[in-house]
């Protein structure tokens, strides 16, 4: 953890911030307390030095120049919707919020690109782009409350990834302020661009360790024509549902959305939304097709699911389709209603989904824990939710981490990865070297020091000693 600044140094830092940034510097107890946590449930050990509400690139540069000159750590925050503790600020640190930088600077329908500031929400951006017949494809479940900058910093994904890709596939360039205040404009506006090293891709998913994202050039798509079709299928157990989702992929079918909810998730969401109780033990696949051939693809998918033992219903009504997807999007609040939740994020090859659900069931049995799980079945990304009674200090109990350790290692054995979209942050840093290997871990850490020689950007996150 970051060492506390001496009182005289902290006083000097605050004075310099206020002299240069005035009312953008917030030391109110409410703001400091809010900056300690994200949606993961983890809180830092104490309040940060201050929250800087940046309104411009110049505000960010000024903050980082002061931080660099005084050796003060900086933690960048957007909407605080992260699930890995990656944007939690603690004692002696400046919380630098870019949430107020929400401008859409440019939309070019002819070039299928937009230039935006990092604080704009996904849903707000797409509402504006729709007026131009365009959209930005990344679709995290938190799209109504998550920022574009946060999406880029964590390498976010969402429900549409299998067909339309993740954030990395939808960003042409980023504007990045380095730890010393210098501004870099990375990437390009053209469809192709291979000059030099791909620093844009390096920044995507770097979780605030390389610099502060202050702008992004986004790759857009035209709105998909036609009416989407939605297929809902229930199966007697989650393994059968997982096998059916793999069969859809193996059949060469490409839905835009394919979401799997196990029995515990499905039961919790139905309870939250006051829906009739599902069949005990049943799991559900919710699949949506889009484009001109949506109905033909939906019929073919329904046939595959029926052959896999599913009870299938299909609707061409967009409103009914959104109602079915709302069940999936209600998963997080439903989990919160069950107790304190550690929301995790592993990915495996799509063909290994049934085996991964077998591993989750084994971990539940052997560790005596409950792990309701939802999956982006179209791309093999699972979100196991560990339910527990929180300790008085808010920390995750040791037996939950033991179960998580077992589950993470199971995903790696199946050829998977520790995180598909949430990032490493604070909560998963102890396992990073297990996936990368020591040599790659050291190389990646050395790269961060090229960008940030003093190590003041989001210290203690991602790369733990």
Quick one: 268 and 188 in the same domain?
no
Quick one: 54 and 119 in the same domain?
no
Look at residue 283 and tell me whether its pLDDT is greater than 60. yes
Query: What domain count does the chain have?
Result: 3
Task: With respect to residue 404, please indicate whether it lies within any of the assigned structural domains.
Answer: yes
- Read off the CATH number of the domain in which 135 is found: 3.30.465.10
Q: Report whether 403 contacts 355 (CB < 8 A).
A: no
Quick one: 273 and 188 in the same domain?
no
Q: How many CB atoms lie within 10 A of CB 338?
A: 18
Quick one: 284 and 210 in the same domain?
no
Looking at residue 325, what is its pLDDT?
87
Instruction: Please state the rounded mean pLDDT for residues 365-380.
Output: 95
Q: Of 185, 207, 222, which marks where a domain is finished?
A: 222
Euclidean distance between CA atoms 402 and 78, whole angstroms: 31
Q: Of 413, 438, 459, which marks where a domain is finished?
A: 413
The set of residues, in sequence order, having a beta carbon less than 8 Å from that of 59 and lying 6+ positions away, is 21, 24, 52
Quick one: 233 and 340 in the same domain?
yes
- Read off the CATH number of the domain in which 26 is found: 3.30.43.10
Please give the mean pLDDT across all residues of the chain.
94
Q: Of 47, 69, 100, which marks where a domain is finished?
A: 100
Look at residue 3 and tell me whether its pLDDT is greater than 80. no
Quick one: 335 and 197 in the same domain?
no
Q: CA 92, 93, 99: angle at the middle one, nearest 5?
A: 150
Bigger pLDDT: 41 or 426? 426
Residue among 100, 101, 146 nearest 123 (CA)? 146
**pLDDT tens digit sequence for 100-141:** 999 999 999 999 999 999 999 999 999 999 999 999 999 887
Looking at residue 1, what is its pLDDT?
41
pLDDT level of residue 394 (50, 70, 90 thresholds)? low
Task: With respect to residue 175, please indicate whether it lies within any of the assigned structural domains.
Answer: yes
Looking at residue 391, what is its pLDDT?
76
Looking at residue 336, what is its pLDDT?
83
Domain that holds residue 301: 229-413
pLDDT level of residue 464 (50, 70, 90 thresholds)? confident
Q: Report whether 70 contacts 13 (CB < 8 A).
A: yes
Task: With respect to residue 431, please indicate whether it lies within any of the assigned structural domains.
Answer: no
Quick one: 261 and 375 in the same domain?
yes
Looking at residue 112, what is its pLDDT?
98
Quick one: 161 and 49 in the same domain?
no
Euclidean distance between CA atoms 316 and 312, whole angstroms: 14
pLDDT level of residue 42 (50, 70, 90 thresholds)? confident
Q: Report whether 411 contacts 418 (CB < 8 A).
A: yes
Task: With respect to residue 436, please indicate whether it lies within any of the assigned structural domains.
Answer: no
- Read off the CATH number of the domain in which 362 is found: 3.40.462.10
Helices (H) and strands (E) in the chain, counts: 16, 19
Q: What percent of the chain has pLDDT over 70?
A: 98
Euclidean distance between CA atoms 113 and 94, whole angstroms: 33
**pLDDT tens digit sequence for 223-281:** 999 999 999 999 999 999 999 999 999 999 999 999 999 999 999 999 999 999 999 99
Look at residue 4 and tell me whether its pLDDT is greater than 70. no
Task: With respect to residue 421, please indicate whether it lies within any of the assigned structural domains.
Answer: no
pLDDT level of residue 24 (50, 70, 90 thresholds)? very high
Task: With respect to residue 46, please indicate whether it lies within any of the assigned structural domains.
Answer: yes
Quick one: 251 and 322 in the same domain?
yes
**pLDDT tens digit sequence for 295-321:** 999 999 999 999 999 999 999 999 999
Look at residue 212 and tell me whether its pLDDT is greater than 50. yes
Q: How many CB atoms lie within 10 A of CB 292?
A: 11
Quick one: 404 and 277 in the same domain?
yes
The set of residues, in sequence order, having a beta carbon less than 8 Å from that of 152 and lying 6+ positions away, is 118, 167, 171, 174, 203, 204, 213, 216
Tell me which H or E stretch contains 214.
strand 212-219
Task: With respect to residue 463, please indicate whether it lies within any of the assigned structural domains.
Answer: no
Euclidean distance between CA atoms 152 and 157, whole angstroms: 10
Quick one: 215 and 243 in the same domain?
no
Bigger pLDDT: 39 or 96? 96
Tokens of 12: 């000097």
Quick one: 333 and 244 in the same domain?
yes
Q: In degrees rounded to 5, what are phi and psi of residue 256? A: -80, -30
Considering the entire predicted model, what is its pTM? 0.93
Residue among 6, 191, 227 nearest 110 (CA)? 191
Q: Report whether 122 contacts 143 (CB < 8 A).
A: yes
């Amino acid at each position: 953890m970051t060492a506390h600044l001496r009182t005289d140094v902290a006083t000097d830092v605050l004075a310099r911030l206020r002299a240069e940034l005035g009312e953008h510097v917030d030391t109110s107890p409410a703001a400091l307390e809010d900056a300690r946590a994200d949606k993961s449930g983890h809180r830092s050990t104490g309040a940060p030095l201050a929250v800087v509400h940046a309104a411009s690139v110049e505000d960010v540069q000024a903050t980082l120049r002061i931080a660099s000159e005084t050796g003060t750590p900086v933690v960048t925050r957007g909407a605080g919707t992260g699930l890995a503790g990656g944007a939690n600020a603690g004692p002696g640190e400046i919380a630098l919020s870019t949430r107020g930088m929400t401008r859409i600077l440019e939309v070019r329908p002819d070039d299928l690109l937009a230039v935006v500031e990092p604080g704009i929400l996904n849903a707000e951006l797409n509402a504006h782009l729709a007026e131009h017949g365009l959209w930005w494809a990344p679709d995290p479940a938190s799209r109504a409350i998550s920022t574009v900058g946060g999406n880029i910093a964590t390498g976010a994904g969402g429900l549409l990834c299998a067909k339309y890709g993740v954030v990395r596939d939808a960003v042409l360039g980023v504007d990045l302020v380095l730890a010393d205040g210098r501004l870099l404009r990375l990437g390009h506006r053209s469809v192709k661009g291979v000059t030099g090293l791909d620093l844009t891709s390096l920044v995507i998913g770097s979780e605030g360790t390389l610099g502060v994202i202050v702008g992004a050039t986004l790759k857009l798509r035209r709105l998909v024509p036609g009416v989407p079709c939605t297929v809902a299928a229930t199966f007697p157990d989650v393994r059968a549902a997982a096998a059916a989702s793999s069969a859809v992929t193996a059949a060469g079918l490409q839905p835009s959305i394919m979401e799997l909810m196990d029995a515990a998730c499905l039961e919790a969401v139905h309870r939250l939304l006051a829906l009739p109780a599902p069949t005990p033990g049943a799991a559900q696949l919710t699949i949506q097709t889009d484009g001109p051939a949506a109905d033909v693809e939906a019929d073919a998918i329904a046939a595959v699911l029926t052959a896999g033992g599913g009870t299938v219903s299909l609707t061409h009504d967009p409103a009914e389709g959104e109602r079915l997807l709302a069940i999936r999007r209600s998963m997080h609040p439903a989990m919160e209603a069950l107790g304190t939740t550690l929301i995790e994020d592993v990915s495996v090859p799509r063909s290994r989904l049934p085996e991964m659900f077998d591993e989750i069931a084994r971990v539940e049995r052997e560790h005596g824990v409950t792990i309701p799980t939802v999956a982006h079945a179209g791309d093999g990304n699972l979100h196991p939710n560990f339910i527990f009674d929180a300790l008085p200090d808010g920390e995750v109990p040791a037996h939950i981490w033991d179960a998580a350790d077992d589950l993470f290692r199971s995903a790696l054995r199946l050829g998977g990865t520790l995180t598909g979209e949430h990032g490493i942050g604070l909560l998963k840093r102890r396992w990073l070297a297990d996936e990368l290997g020591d040599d790659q871990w050291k190389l990646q850490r050395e790269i961060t020091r090229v960008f940030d020689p003093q190590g003041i950007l989001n210290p203690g996150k991602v790369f733990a000693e």
